[in-house]
Chain A
């Protein structure tokens, strides 16, 4: 193995080429440019890489990871680094204009004004247009760092893409993920290896699997689905479970956030014991309504993400079955499995459905993902999927 990166680069795991390129840009101002686009599959560390780069740009030592600049950037409290993150389903034009307004100023203490747009693929069209104007005439010391899953025009418009230098991250290898889990999060090495292997190269997911027993149980429940689909009734029940779990997760995750936010807004408006004046009450009602809207959109997103994760796991599992079927069940000839801990089940699945059946089922899972993107009701999309995944008699 090559030497591990140092300083702020330490947590950008499994990306030696990208790190080298970014370090070079920091070290030689000639190769610096004002707009960067980080692409890579979800969980590959786009945001982490972008933040590390932001820190290195502000740091007098190119990202030693210990100075005040580095620490405040990584803690998201640096005055000249702005993060744009979607709270609900999208990044709106209002949010974008605010940030752009601030980003146009000269840096107050750092060397640059840095704007990090995580999930740039979630910008609305108007927000993207507002950003594009800025990219066309960039202020001299402002740097934009955008993150998106891919260069596909659905993710980033061609015009924005053409103004950016692209840094593409790859799926980090399991060994690198497991190393960071042990080093940074103090996870047991055996558990770290298992989680890294089961995560499909998604660092955040590996971390959750390692630290959260519920996440492991949820993954197991999902991977138990394919071999349980022996009747129409079983398919409908499995669909209920998948949708129900997503709804429950969304309720649990957003419930905790919602209550605190609502209280905070109420407190800031002085609603409570005394009661506000009429004007304050109506202004407050407006603010609360807006907040409610955002919370709803976030809950929808959490539910969708949960369901999407289940679908990704399922598709990967059928891929395992496909691989096994194509080598006629000879596990010794299989080099890589997405869910290595479930190889026995994947073998059984391969036996039951065959290569062609596995392929058809992968398509069914992907069709369900597409349907969810098209706003088909989750229950309807997942039921249709489970029925299409039903085992042959």
Chain B
């Protein structure tokens, strides 16, 4: 994680949780809650959303308690707080109750920034939950996630995981704990590669990829695998349509220059390259027929066919067949 300063002690009377990253905000709040419960297992807890919150409701939970004990009040989404609510929070901050931890959660940005400033001036502790923008930050996040669940991960494995999963923190966090539970304490690049294959196998896009490159045994096997794991029929059908469309686009433009194609088709270069690989070995007439097959399939999986399983398998076989017989027509008219 990018935090350089040590996290502030969770029990200060005023706290801010600020930043765009939802997962980090949720965790910061959870940590405070855990600390409060440790201090006082019978603590009184309130969580209120700032948007549309009547000032009276806030006053009720902030009013001095007759029962003693520690209290926790979390106000979420304070960037959406109305003026009157902000005023009442400001006035509370001038004389906060020592037996109460008030946490303001703010999703980052300029709205109600003055409220944050005033809390900072009043000595509020702050958890920063900014978006992780650099690769290094995300790398650190992955390491930390693995550590949280008691494992360790090598640098190249963390990089591979980022490549495979993308930048979504929740997805990364889930992948990290899955990895540790699948492969034990120490994770290397090989484990990530095996893990990724296992994940990829269940998406429609992998089925589409096998189909487009004409792998007849592999595509059917992968299709069954995907269906066994509960990938919805519609998603596989959509992925097939998408694959055929993209290959058709790449094949129908009179250039193989990646940059030109990316510009003309408004696709990122990596997608162009992938599509070019998948378009290889296809003739234009065969692609045209494949466009018809995926359209029919789309109706089939939406209830026209009696068995969506069967419809998918038939479409997969037909498309593979089309490619196999299209060799002769390669480079055919566009």
Contacts and interface: CB of A to CB of B under 8 A. Distances in A.
Interface of A: 231-233, 236, 271, 273-278, 281, 371, 374-377, 379-381, 383-384, 387-388, 390, 393
B75 interface: no
A387 B288 contact: yes
Contact of A233 (B51, B53, B57, B253): B253
Interface in B282-301: 284, 287-288, 291-292, 294-296, 298-299
A274 B287 CA distance: 60
Contacts, number: 69
A34 B284 CA distance: 60
Contacts of A236: 245, 248-249, 252
A285 B198 CA distance: 41
A73 B284 CA distance: 59
A278 B54 contact: yes
Given A375-B302, A377-B238, A233 B252 contact: yes
Contacts of B333: 231, 393
A377 B298 contact: yes
Interface string B144-162: 0000000000000000000
B52 A271 contact: yes
28 contacts: A232-B251, A232-B252, A232-B284, A236-B252, A275-B53, A275-B85, A278-B54, A281-B52, A371-B295, A371-B298, A371-B299, A374-B299, A374-B302, A374-B303, A375-B302, A376-B298, A376-B299, A377-B238, A377-B241, A379-B245, A380-B241, A380-B294, A381-B295, A383-B245, A383-B291, A384-B294, A387-B288, A387-B292
B178 to A, nearest CB: 32
A130 B289 CA distance: 46
B171 interface: no
B174 interface: no
A275 B82 contact: yes
B114 interface: no
Contacts of A273: 82
Nearest to A390: B288
B290 to A, nearest CB: 9
A231 B334 CA distance: 5
A273 to B, nearest CB: 7
B39 interface: no
B294 A232 contact: no
Given A273-B82, A278-B54, A380-B294, A233 B249 contact: yes
Chain B interface mostly: helix
A307 to B, nearest CB: 14
B288 A376 contact: no
B304 interface: yes
B257 to A, nearest CB: 15
A232 B54 contact: no
Contact of B52 (A276, A377, A379): A276
Q: Which one of B51, B57, B85, B248 has the highest number of Cβ atoms from chain A below 10 Å of its Cβ?
A: B248
Nearest to B241: A380
A27 to B, nearest CB: 49
Interface string B40-53: 00000000000111
A352 to B, nearest CB: 15
Contacts of A281: 52
Given A232-B287, A374-B303, A376-B295, 12 more contacts: A231-B252, A232-B334, A275-B53, A278-B54, A375-B303, A376-B299, A380-B294, A381-B295, A383-B245, A384-B294, A384-B295, A384-B296
A384 B294 CA distance: 8
A383 B284 CA distance: 14
Nearest to B253: A233
A379 to B, nearest CB: 8
Contact of B57 (A278, A380, A383): A278
A383 B238 CA distance: 13
A379 B245 CA distance: 10
Contact of B295 (A233, A383, A390): A383
Contacts of B82: 273-275
Contacts of A374: 299, 302-304
